[in-house]
């Protein structure tokens, strides 16, 4: 007989459940047995599951939590395997509106068990913890929180807020209709669609977001960040990669300590690159960008209302392409010692060449009667003011 552990909080009554176990069978280097059972949720609206190994969860229309746990053990023979498998335990605890399930097979295997769960998709909240393994979760209407000691996490078709954390695996987010939080100790994070404000953080992998209908916060210790569409502002930070934002409905605040920054559409930018190029295109609002060891290319296109802006490069060229329909006041200064240059396609912008060792090159002028101030400062390259063709 397999020993099953059961824990019930006093005065809350026994939670009815049944468990069956399959025969012990040989699979490769392991002996395996599958345990299965059903736990009625009754009046509970929340569930917490604590286990180990790889976990797959699917929401359905039922009123019970069903589980299948395939447990592998290394043993010299079937008799020894059966003895080890007796330590498997399933514990149930009721805490108010929350059911807590603990499926235990600790210190029995090297690879960990494989756990499959079906839960009522209408649960208000599901919390899932695995001590080490992958998580795959689909089809839930309530909030979800999942954590792994180091495996991959994959979530999809969730209709409320989701929060996931892994100590080192990749994270994939399919379609989530609420806000999302993702944290990895070093894996990549990829996102198809999220319906609210989102936070993505990894110690060293890439972050890729296809669509977010709210503000995006993204930070990586050394990978690239790519956001295709954001329904709000974007805050992106990397210690050594590229930042690329295709379209944002709000301000883009980007900081790269070792790569380039590219923004193709946004309502204002605030960008800083320590060692990479900054390229800004189709941006409205204020453009504030600085790079310590790279160039800046900014395109001021017709139809975009800009505000007072500043572009600064310490060791690279600054090129500004300006539409003939833009109203702007240009104030440029090149303080490169003795040889600063400003090249302009606009006769309205008066250029005063530098005097060697004394006066920096400056250029000032109003386009289409003037407008918001565009300040340009270069200390190690050439400033180019080009007319859009």
Q: Convert the pLDDT of each residue in 279-305 to its tens digit.
A: 999 999 999 999 999 999 999 998 899
- Under the banding of pLDDT at 50, 70 and 90, the label for residue 351 is very high
Residue 211 has pLDDT above 80, yes or no: yes
Task: List alpha helices for the chain, DSSP H.
Answer: 78-85
- Under the banding of pLDDT at 50, 70 and 90, the label for residue 347 is very high
- Contacts for 256-265 with beta carbons within 8 Å, 24 or more apart? 259/224, 260/294, 261/289
The per-residue pLDDT for 96 is: 85
pTM of the model as a whole:
0.91
Residue pair 195/177 in contact (Cβ under 8 Å)? The answer is yes
Please report, rounded to a whole number, the percentage of residues in the chain having pLDDT higher than 70.
92
Residue pair 363/344 in contact (Cβ under 8 Å)? The answer is yes
The per-residue pLDDT for 65 is: 93
Residue 89 has pLDDT above 90, yes or no: no
Burial annotation 176-200 (CB, 10 A radius, 16+ → b, else e)? bbbbbbbbbbbbbbbbebbbbbbbb
Say which range, 48-62, 112-126, 328-342, has the weakest mean pLDDT.
Answer: 328-342
- Under the banding of pLDDT at 50, 70 and 90, the label for residue 262 is very high
117 vs 357, higher pLDDT: 117
Backbone angles phi, psi at 302, to 5 degrees: -60, 145
Residue 32 has pLDDT above 80, yes or no: yes
| Residues paired with residue 211 on neighbouring β-strands, in sequence order | 193, 229
Q: Convert the pLDDT of each residue in 10-19 to its tens digit.
A: 223 334 456 7
Cα separation of 371 and 264, whole Å? 23
The per-residue pLDDT for 95 is: 83
Helix, strand, or coil here: 108?
coil
């Amino acid at each position: 007989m397999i020993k099953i552990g059961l824990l019930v909080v006093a005065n809350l009554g026994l939670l009815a459940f049944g468990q069956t176990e399959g025969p012990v069978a040989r699979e490769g280097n392991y002996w395996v047995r599958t345990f299965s059972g059903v736990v009625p949720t009754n009046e509970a609206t929340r569930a917490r599951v604590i286990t180990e190994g790889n976990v797959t969860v699917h929401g359905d229309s039922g009123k019970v939590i069903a589980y299948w746990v395939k447990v592998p053990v290394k043993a010299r023979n079937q008799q020894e395997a059966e003895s080890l498998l007796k330590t498997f335990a399933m514990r149930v605890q009721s805490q108010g509106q929350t059911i807590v399930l603990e499926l235990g097979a600790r210190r029995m295997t090297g690879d960990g068990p494989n756990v499959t769960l079906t839960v009522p998709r209408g649960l208000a909240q599901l919390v899932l913890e695995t001590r080490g393994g992958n998580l795959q979760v689909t089809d839930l209407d309530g909030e979800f929180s999942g954590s792994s000691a180091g495996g991959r996490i994959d979530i999809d078709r969730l209709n409320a807020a989701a929060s996931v954390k892994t100590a080192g695996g990749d994270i994939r987010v399919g379609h989530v209709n609420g806000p999302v939080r993702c944290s990895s100790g070093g894996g990549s994070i990829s996102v198809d669609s999220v319906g609210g404000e989102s936070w993505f953080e990894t110690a060293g992998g890439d972050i890729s977001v296809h669509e977010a209908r709210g503000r995006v916060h993204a930070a990586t210790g050394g990978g690239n960040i790519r956001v295709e569409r954001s329904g709000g502002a974007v805050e992106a930070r990397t210690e050594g990669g590229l930042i690329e934002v295709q379209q944002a409905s709000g301000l883009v605040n980007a900081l790269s300590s070792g790569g380039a920054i590219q923004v193709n559409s946004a309502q204002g930018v605030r960008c800083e690159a320590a060692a990479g190029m900054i390229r800004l295109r189709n941006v409205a609002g204020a453009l504030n960008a600085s790079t310590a060891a790279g160039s800046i290319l900014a395109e001021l296109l017709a139809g975009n209302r800009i505000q007072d802006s500043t572009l600064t490069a310490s060791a690279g060229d600054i090129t500004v392409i300006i539409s003939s329909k833009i109203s702007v006041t240009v104030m440029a200064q090149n303080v490169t010692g003795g040889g600063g240059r400003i090249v302009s396609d606009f006769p309205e912008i008066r250029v005063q060449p530098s005097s060697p060792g004394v006066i920096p090159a400056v250029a000032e002028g109003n386009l289409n009667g003037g407008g918001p101030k565009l300040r340009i400062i270069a200390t190690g390259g050439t400033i180019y003011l080009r007319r859009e063709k």
